Structure 1
Amino acid sequence: MLHLTLRCASTGLRDLYPGGVIDLHTHSTASDGTDSPARLVEVAARAGITTLAITDHDTTSGWTGAAEAAGRHQVGLVRGAEISALARTTGWGTGVHLLAYLHDPTHPALLAETERTRADRESRARRMVDLLGEDYPITWEDLLAQTKPGTTIGRPHIADALAAAGVVRDREEAFATMLRVGTRYYVGHYAPDAVAAVRAVRAAGGVPVLAHPGADGRGRIVPDSTIEELAAAGLAGLEVEHRDHTPDTRRRLRDIAESLGLLVTGSSDFHGAGKHNLIGENTTEPEVLEAIAEQGALEVLR
């Protein structure tokens, strides 16, 4: 796996890794990234990425802009989305994020779920801003100033509004304090059942990969029993190489993937300036990308 130490490295990386430098998890301003879809592709090209996946939260609205830029910059593009879901096999529920690759964006079942999630994310954000506004100088208009038209609104935009108001330094501080689960300002949002979400992605011709399943800094990690259930429902792979996974976690997840016959991916989870993650800091092997491409309803744009 390739680990970059610079946000934008030389495109000479393409010569060093002739099989391709493949990053399958990034975000744009269509959700909680800070770069437009076109700018995201440009950043990837400058960093030496040969194939990039755009995977905004519960939306495909960034696909067109990314595709146009990918052609200009000669970057392969995997069109995808990150689907919010909830696994209930543990009895209390565990948040699950599914990376859906190469699916039909108009498929009724999947589209209905993502639209419902997006709508509830917005109403949830309004409730959180109302609660925060009781104690801090923040309004709904302040949040909207941190978004673009059509953005999937989430807690990162609340964090940006708090930072703009001088309440916190940055997103990281906001999430570590007032926006974390358990505070009086936190409000949950709707998410579909994880098994149903995997099946909906498959029904839409997509390839579902479980994002950062061992990231303990995000709340409860996804238990092995849930991964097994999702695999039985059609899960294609696990995102193993991720900055939120320790070496021990990566080894454990690789063992699980091997035992269940799942693909292993690596990704940056790049958000532009929204997170410290560096584009291309974790990557996916070319043969894994080809296996994903073989299963998807859409082609990888090359």
Structure 2
Amino acid sequence: MPGGIDLHAHTSVSDGTETPAELVAAAVDAGLEVVGITDHDATTGWQHAFDAARGAGLTVVPGLELSTQLDYASVHVLGYLVDPDDPGLVAETERIRAERLSRAQSMVQRIAVDYPTLTWDRVLEHTTPDATVGRPHIADALVELGYVPNRSAAFQSILHWQGGYYRPHDAPPPLEGVRLIVAAGGVPVIAHPGARGPERVLNGPRMRELVDAGLAGLEIAHRDNPPRRAPA
């Protein structure tokens, strides 16, 4: 019987909890036939995943999850099969990762005013070298310190965008993100489009603009997408 496919997985290169090799092993154990390595704004985990999957009967689809911003809302664009050495994509992802780092440091400083045992060093303990540092790593530190029970609770409270500590990050608009991925020879797909309300952020005209620029699809099966409502 054919196995499953998961085209949106993160490793410790960004905010995942497993190394690329560990993620591949978990995918094999789960009976998957295909897994997509789509770390935030990074492609450095690809080769480790390829090496781990060799002979394991698992196809690794290389990709990334590009950070973009629209009307103060974060919109992520998955890019599959991109050229990791494309100059435009490399320059933008390096800039985004650097900005993510300064954003995370700023948020830690804000949070530490009310949660004083949280420090930047504590956050870094939950990352790997050259990882794309972000809110999930801050969440892990908050869990370790006992301020929240788990990552989800951290994002629903202290790290919520309305929680008082949030700082938006500087990322390109989705249209530019789609164009960057296409220019790098990749296939762009909007990740979890329902996370921030598709009608409010990605309305019809905006979606058509993205399609015209080369958008190839939308991620449907994701916990951040609200369930489909049956017609009244």
Q: What is the TM-score with the length of structure 1 in the denominator?
A: 0.72
CA displacement, residues 51-94 of structure 1 (integer Å, 9 cap, x when unaligned): 1100000001111111111114221010000001123xxxx343
Please tell me whether residue 139 in structure 1 is matched to residue 122 in structure 2: no
CA displacement, residues 190-229 of structure 1 (integer Å, 9 cap, x when unaligned): 11121111111011000001111112489x6532332211
Please tell me whether residue 26 in structure 1 is matched to residue 9 in structure 2: yes
CA displacement, residues 226-258 of structure 1 (integer Å, 9 cap, x when unaligned): 22111011101111222333442799xxxxxxx
Please tell me whether residue 245 in structure 1 is matched to residue 228 in structure 2: no
For residue 48 of structure 2, what is the aligned residue in structure 1?
65
CA displacement, residues 255-287 of structure 1 (integer Å, 9 cap, x when unaligned): xxxxxxxxxxxxxxxxxxxxxxxxxxxxxxxxx
Written as runs of structure 1 = structure 2, the 5 A alignment for 1:205-220 is 205-216=185-196
The match for 2:139 among 159, 170, 173 is 159
Please tell me whether residue 224 in structure 1 is matched to residue 204 in structure 2: yes
Compared with structure 1, are the counterparts of its residues 168 and 246 closer, same or farther at alpha carbon in structure 2 (3 Å cutoff)? closer
Q: Secondary structure at the match of 1:138?
A: coil
Task: Write the letter of the residue equivalent to 2:168.
Answer: G
Written as runs of structure 1 = structure 2, the 5 A alignment for 1:79-90 is 79-87=62-70
Please tell me whether residue 47 in structure 1 is matched to residue 26 in structure 2: no
- Please identify runs of 4+ aligned residues in structure 1 that moved more than 3 A: none
In 2, Cα distance between equivalents of 1:194 and 1:56: 17
In 2, Cα distance between equivalents of 1:160 and 1:214: 25
For residue 261 of structure 1, what is the aligned residue in structure 2?
none
For residue 127 of structure 1, what is the aligned residue in structure 2?
106
In 2, Cα distance between equivalents of 1:249 and 1:84: 28
User: Structure 2: which 5+ runs fail to align?
Assistant: none
Please tell me whether residue 95 in structure 1 is matched to residue 74 in structure 2: yes
Task: Write the letter of the residue equivalent to 1:238.
Answer: L
Contact 2:11–2:17 at 8 Å: present in 1 too? yes
Q: More relative contact order in 1 or in 2 (CA 8 Å, sep 6+)?
A: 1
Compared with structure 1, are the counterparts of its residues 98 and 205 closer, same or farther at alpha carbon in structure 2 (3 Å cutoff)? same
Contact 1:54–1:81 at 8 Å: present in 2 too? yes
For residue 177 of structure 1, what is the aligned residue in structure 2?
157
RMSD of the TM alignment (CA)? 2.1
Equivalenced residue count is: 230
User: Structure 1: which 5+ runs fail to align?
Assistant: 1-14, 252-302
Contact 1:21–1:48 at 8 Å: present in 2 too? yes
Task: Write the letter of the residue equivalent to 1:132.
Answer: I
Identity of matched residues, %: 48
Compared with structure 1, are the counterparts of its residues 229 and 140 closer, same or farther at alpha carbon in structure 2 (3 Å cutoff)? same
Task: Write the letter of the residue equivalent to 2:222.
Answer: H
Please tell me whether residue 105 in structure 1 is matched to residue 84 in structure 2: yes
For residue 293 of structure 1, what is the aligned residue in structure 2?
none
